[in-house]
Amino acid sequence: MPLKAYPRLIRLGLHILAGALTILLLFPFLKPDERGRRVVAWARKLLAIVRVRVTVHGRPPAVRGEGALIVANHVSWLDIHVLHSLIPSRFVSKAEVRDWPLIGWMAEQAGTLYLERRKKSDARRVNEAMAALLREGECLALFPEGTTTDGTRLLPFYPSLLQPAVVAGARVWPAVIRYRHPDGRINRAAAYHDDVSLWQSLKRIVAQDLILAEVRFLPPIAATGMHRRELAARAEAAIREVLAADAPHSQPGRSARPRAAGP
Protein backbone atom coordinates (compact mmCIF):
# COMPACT_ATOMS: atom_id res chain seq x y z
CA MET A 1 0.00 0.00 0.00
CA PRO A 2 1.52 3.38 -1.00
CA LEU A 3 2.47 5.86 1.74
CA LYS A 4 -0.17 8.33 0.55
CA ALA A 5 -2.86 5.88 1.59
CA TYR A 6 -2.01 5.92 5.31
CA PRO A 7 -3.16 9.50 6.00
CA ARG A 8 -6.44 8.64 4.27
CA LEU A 9 -6.90 5.66 6.55
CA ILE A 10 -6.28 7.82 9.61
CA ARG A 11 -8.72 10.48 8.40
CA LEU A 12 -11.28 7.78 7.64
CA GLY A 13 -10.96 6.32 11.13
CA LEU A 14 -11.44 9.75 12.70
CA HIS A 15 -14.42 10.41 10.44
CA ILE A 16 -16.08 7.16 11.49
CA LEU A 17 -15.48 8.01 15.14
CA ALA A 18 -16.97 11.48 14.64
CA GLY A 19 -20.01 9.90 13.00
CA ALA A 20 -20.48 7.52 15.91
CA LEU A 21 -20.31 10.40 18.41
CA THR A 22 -22.83 12.39 16.37
CA ILE A 23 -25.24 9.46 16.41
CA LEU A 24 -24.74 8.87 20.13
CA LEU A 25 -24.93 12.48 21.31
CA LEU A 26 -27.07 14.33 18.75
CA PHE A 27 -29.37 11.89 16.92
CA PRO A 28 -31.72 11.38 19.91
CA PHE A 29 -32.57 15.10 19.75
CA LEU A 30 -32.80 15.54 15.96
CA LYS A 31 -35.86 15.30 13.75
CA PRO A 32 -35.78 12.67 10.94
CA ASP A 33 -35.15 15.25 8.22
CA GLU A 34 -32.15 16.67 10.05
CA ARG A 35 -30.81 13.17 10.66
CA GLY A 36 -31.11 12.51 6.94
CA ARG A 37 -29.19 15.66 6.07
CA ARG A 38 -26.40 14.73 8.45
CA VAL A 39 -26.17 11.22 7.00
CA VAL A 40 -25.88 12.71 3.49
CA ALA A 41 -23.14 15.13 4.61
CA TRP A 42 -21.27 12.35 6.44
CA ALA A 43 -21.37 10.08 3.37
CA ARG A 44 -20.11 12.87 1.12
CA LYS A 45 -17.16 13.53 3.40
CA LEU A 46 -16.33 9.82 3.61
CA LEU A 47 -16.22 9.60 -0.18
CA ALA A 48 -14.03 12.71 -0.33
CA ILE A 49 -11.58 11.14 2.12
CA VAL A 50 -11.21 7.97 0.05
CA ARG A 51 -11.06 9.99 -3.19
CA VAL A 52 -14.35 8.85 -4.72
CA ARG A 53 -16.06 11.40 -6.96
CA VAL A 54 -19.74 10.84 -7.74
CA THR A 55 -21.52 11.77 -10.96
CA VAL A 56 -25.26 11.34 -11.48
CA HIS A 57 -27.27 10.69 -14.62
CA GLY A 58 -31.05 10.65 -14.73
CA ARG A 59 -33.52 11.84 -12.13
CA PRO A 60 -33.40 10.37 -8.62
CA PRO A 61 -36.58 9.98 -6.55
CA ALA A 62 -37.81 12.80 -4.36
CA VAL A 63 -36.44 12.91 -0.83
CA ARG A 64 -39.86 12.39 0.71
CA GLY A 65 -43.49 12.18 -0.25
CA GLU A 66 -43.87 9.60 -2.98
CA GLY A 67 -42.71 6.31 -1.50
CA ALA A 68 -39.75 5.17 -3.59
CA LEU A 69 -37.74 1.94 -3.64
CA ILE A 70 -34.30 2.20 -5.24
CA VAL A 71 -33.00 -1.13 -6.58
CA ALA A 72 -29.40 -1.16 -7.76
CA ASN A 73 -26.66 -3.52 -8.83
CA HIS A 74 -24.21 -4.26 -6.04
CA VAL A 75 -20.46 -3.81 -6.50
CA SER A 76 -18.96 -2.57 -3.26
CA TRP A 77 -19.53 -1.49 0.32
CA LEU A 78 -19.07 1.95 -1.20
CA ASP A 79 -22.47 1.60 -2.91
CA ILE A 80 -24.36 2.50 0.26
CA HIS A 81 -22.32 5.65 0.84
CA VAL A 82 -22.56 6.66 -2.82
CA LEU A 83 -26.37 6.45 -2.71
CA HIS A 84 -26.49 8.06 0.73
CA SER A 85 -24.45 10.98 -0.61
CA LEU A 86 -27.24 11.68 -3.11
CA ILE A 87 -30.45 11.14 -1.17
CA PRO A 88 -31.47 10.26 2.40
CA SER A 89 -32.65 6.66 2.23
CA ARG A 90 -33.08 3.61 4.42
CA PHE A 91 -31.29 0.47 3.30
CA VAL A 92 -32.28 -3.15 3.63
CA SER A 93 -29.26 -5.26 4.52
CA LYS A 94 -28.37 -8.77 5.58
CA ALA A 95 -28.28 -9.21 9.37
CA GLU A 96 -24.58 -10.14 9.36
CA VAL A 97 -23.68 -6.50 8.75
CA ARG A 98 -25.14 -5.64 12.15
CA ASP A 99 -22.25 -7.55 13.72
CA TRP A 100 -19.57 -5.46 12.02
CA PRO A 101 -17.73 -3.49 14.74
CA LEU A 102 -19.16 0.02 15.08
CA ILE A 103 -20.24 0.20 11.41
CA GLY A 104 -23.14 -2.18 11.94
CA TRP A 105 -24.44 -0.16 14.88
CA MET A 106 -24.04 3.12 12.98
CA ALA A 107 -25.96 1.75 10.00
CA GLU A 108 -28.78 0.62 12.27
CA GLN A 109 -29.00 4.03 13.91
CA ALA A 110 -29.10 5.61 10.43
CA GLY A 111 -32.24 3.60 9.65
CA THR A 112 -30.98 0.37 8.07
CA LEU A 113 -33.43 -2.54 8.23
CA TYR A 114 -31.64 -5.81 8.93
CA LEU A 115 -32.94 -9.07 7.52
CA GLU A 116 -32.27 -12.58 8.81
CA ARG A 117 -32.38 -14.24 5.40
CA ARG A 118 -32.67 -17.76 6.82
CA LYS A 119 -35.87 -16.97 8.71
CA LYS A 120 -39.10 -16.68 6.72
CA SER A 121 -40.76 -14.94 9.65
CA ASP A 122 -38.09 -12.24 9.58
CA ALA A 123 -38.66 -11.66 5.86
CA ARG A 124 -42.33 -11.08 6.69
CA ARG A 125 -41.38 -8.62 9.43
CA VAL A 126 -39.05 -6.64 7.18
CA ASN A 127 -41.55 -6.62 4.31
CA GLU A 128 -44.23 -5.22 6.59
CA ALA A 129 -41.86 -2.54 7.88
CA MET A 130 -40.82 -1.63 4.34
CA ALA A 131 -44.43 -1.36 3.16
CA ALA A 132 -45.31 0.90 6.09
CA LEU A 133 -42.35 3.18 5.39
CA LEU A 134 -43.17 3.36 1.68
CA ARG A 135 -46.77 4.33 2.50
CA GLU A 136 -45.37 7.13 4.65
CA GLY A 137 -43.43 8.43 1.65
CA GLU A 138 -39.98 7.22 2.66
CA CYS A 139 -37.20 6.36 0.23
CA LEU A 140 -35.79 2.85 0.67
CA ALA A 141 -32.91 1.15 -1.14
CA LEU A 142 -31.78 -2.43 -1.61
CA PHE A 143 -29.58 -4.64 -3.76
CA PRO A 144 -31.77 -7.46 -5.14
CA GLU A 145 -28.80 -9.55 -6.33
CA GLY A 146 -28.17 -10.41 -2.70
CA THR A 147 -24.39 -10.18 -3.11
CA THR A 148 -21.69 -8.26 -4.98
CA THR A 149 -19.97 -8.66 -8.36
CA ASP A 150 -16.95 -7.04 -9.99
CA GLY A 151 -19.25 -4.48 -11.58
CA THR A 152 -19.24 -5.84 -15.13
CA ARG A 153 -22.13 -8.27 -14.82
CA LEU A 154 -25.50 -8.61 -13.13
CA LEU A 155 -26.82 -11.55 -11.13
CA PRO A 156 -30.51 -12.54 -11.11
CA PHE A 157 -32.69 -10.48 -8.79
CA TYR A 158 -34.43 -11.99 -5.79
CA PRO A 159 -38.02 -10.70 -6.08
CA SER A 160 -39.19 -11.22 -2.49
CA LEU A 161 -38.11 -7.83 -1.13
CA LEU A 162 -39.90 -6.02 -3.96
CA GLN A 163 -43.26 -7.17 -2.62
CA PRO A 164 -43.58 -4.15 -0.27
CA ALA A 165 -43.51 -1.82 -3.28
CA VAL A 166 -46.44 -3.75 -4.75
CA VAL A 167 -48.35 -3.67 -1.47
CA ALA A 168 -47.72 0.05 -0.93
CA GLY A 169 -48.29 1.02 -4.56
CA ALA A 170 -44.86 2.66 -4.62
CA ARG A 171 -42.54 3.28 -7.52
CA VAL A 172 -39.37 1.30 -8.08
CA TRP A 173 -36.32 3.18 -9.35
CA PRO A 174 -33.69 1.00 -11.05
CA ALA A 175 -30.21 2.42 -10.61
CA VAL A 176 -26.90 1.43 -12.20
CA ILE A 177 -23.71 1.88 -10.16
CA ARG A 178 -20.32 1.78 -11.85
CA TYR A 179 -16.80 2.62 -10.72
CA ARG A 180 -14.31 3.93 -13.26
CA HIS A 181 -10.76 5.12 -13.66
CA PRO A 182 -10.38 8.71 -14.87
CA ASP A 183 -9.82 7.38 -18.41
CA GLY A 184 -13.23 5.68 -18.38
CA ARG A 185 -12.16 2.09 -17.78
CA ILE A 186 -14.01 0.05 -15.17
CA ASN A 187 -12.16 0.27 -11.84
CA ARG A 188 -12.24 -3.23 -10.36
CA ALA A 189 -10.26 -2.09 -7.31
CA ALA A 190 -13.51 -0.62 -5.99
CA ALA A 191 -15.28 -3.99 -6.12
CA TYR A 192 -15.79 -5.96 -2.92
CA HIS A 193 -16.42 -9.53 -3.99
CA ASP A 194 -15.10 -13.09 -4.06
CA ASP A 195 -12.69 -13.78 -1.19
CA VAL A 196 -11.58 -10.18 -0.64
CA SER A 197 -11.86 -9.12 3.01
CA LEU A 198 -13.21 -5.74 4.05
CA TRP A 199 -9.71 -4.67 5.13
CA GLN A 200 -8.21 -5.74 1.79
CA SER A 201 -10.94 -3.90 -0.07
CA LEU A 202 -10.37 -0.76 1.96
CA LYS A 203 -6.63 -0.84 1.27
CA ARG A 204 -7.25 -1.22 -2.45
CA ILE A 205 -9.61 1.73 -2.48
CA VAL A 206 -7.45 4.18 -0.51
CA ALA A 207 -4.48 3.27 -2.73
CA GLN A 208 -6.30 4.69 -5.78
CA ASP A 209 -5.57 8.26 -6.88
CA LEU A 210 -9.19 8.79 -7.87
CA ILE A 211 -12.27 6.62 -8.31
CA LEU A 212 -15.16 7.90 -10.38
CA ALA A 213 -18.49 6.55 -9.09
CA GLU A 214 -21.23 6.82 -11.67
CA VAL A 215 -24.89 6.45 -10.72
CA ARG A 216 -27.51 6.27 -13.45
CA PHE A 217 -31.14 6.46 -12.34
CA LEU A 218 -33.41 4.81 -14.87
CA PRO A 219 -37.11 5.63 -15.40
CA PRO A 220 -39.20 4.49 -12.43
CA ILE A 221 -41.56 1.53 -12.61
CA ALA A 222 -45.03 1.82 -11.07
CA ALA A 223 -45.49 -1.28 -8.92
CA THR A 224 -49.27 -1.02 -8.56
CA GLY A 225 -51.01 -4.11 -9.94
CA MET A 226 -47.78 -5.94 -10.74
CA HIS A 227 -46.55 -9.26 -9.40
CA ARG A 228 -43.25 -8.99 -7.58
CA ARG A 229 -41.60 -11.40 -10.03
CA GLU A 230 -42.63 -9.26 -12.99
CA LEU A 231 -41.45 -6.16 -11.14
CA ALA A 232 -38.06 -7.73 -10.36
CA ALA A 233 -37.68 -8.95 -13.95
CA ARG A 234 -38.38 -5.49 -15.38
CA ALA A 235 -35.96 -3.75 -13.02
CA GLU A 236 -33.29 -6.37 -13.65
CA ALA A 237 -33.71 -6.12 -17.44
CA ALA A 238 -33.38 -2.33 -17.35
CA ILE A 239 -30.12 -2.45 -15.38
CA ARG A 240 -28.77 -5.38 -17.40
CA GLU A 241 -29.33 -3.49 -20.66
CA VAL A 242 -27.27 -0.52 -19.47
CA LEU A 243 -24.42 -2.71 -18.22
CA ALA A 244 -24.39 -4.73 -21.44
CA ALA A 245 -24.27 -1.61 -23.60
CA ASP A 246 -21.42 -0.20 -21.53
CA ALA A 247 -19.29 -3.34 -21.56
CA PRO A 248 -20.15 -5.57 -24.52
CA HIS A 249 -16.99 -7.60 -23.92
CA SER A 250 -18.24 -8.67 -20.47
CA GLN A 251 -20.65 -11.47 -19.72
CA PRO A 252 -23.81 -9.80 -18.49
CA GLY A 253 -25.86 -12.97 -18.53
CA ARG A 254 -26.69 -15.25 -15.64
CA SER A 255 -23.77 -16.78 -13.83
CA ALA A 256 -22.91 -18.56 -10.62
CA ARG A 257 -23.26 -16.50 -7.49
CA PRO A 258 -20.03 -15.51 -5.73
CA ARG A 259 -19.69 -15.42 -1.95
CA ALA A 260 -22.05 -12.94 -0.32
CA ALA A 261 -19.73 -10.07 0.47
CA GLY A 262 -21.80 -7.02 1.21
CA PRO A 263 -25.12 -5.69 2.40
The beta-carbon contacts of 90-98 under 8 Å, at least 24 apart in sequence, are: 90/133, 90/138, 90/139, 90/140, 90/141, 91/140, 91/141, 91/142, 91/263, 92/126, 92/130, 92/140, 92/141, 92/142, 92/161, 93/263, 94/146, 94/260, 94/263, 95/122, 97/263
**Is residue 156 in a domain?**
yes
Neighbours of 261 (CB within 10 A): 20
Residue-wise pLDDT tens digits, 79-97 = 999 999 999 999 998 888 8
Q: What is the reported pLDDT for 243?
A: 92
**Is residue 251 in a domain?**
no
CA distance linking residue 154 with residue 145, whole number of Å: 8
Number of H helices, E strands in the chain: 8, 8
**Is residue 117 in a domain?**
yes
**Is residue 253 in a domain?**
no
Into how many domains does the chain fold? 1
Q: Rounded to two decimals, what is the model's pTM?
A: 0.89
User: What would the mean pLDDT of 221-231 be, rounded to a whole number?
Assistant: 94
CATH code of 185's domain: 3.40.1130
What is the percentage of the chain residues whose pLDDT exceeds 90?
70
Residue-wise pLDDT tens digits, 21-76 = 999 999 999 999 999 999 999 999 999 999 999 999 999 987 667 789 999 999 99
Range of the domain at 145: 5-246
Q: What is the reported pLDDT for 247?
A: 62
**Is residue 252 in a domain?**
no
Residue-wise pLDDT tens digits, 4-20 = 789 999 999 999 999 99
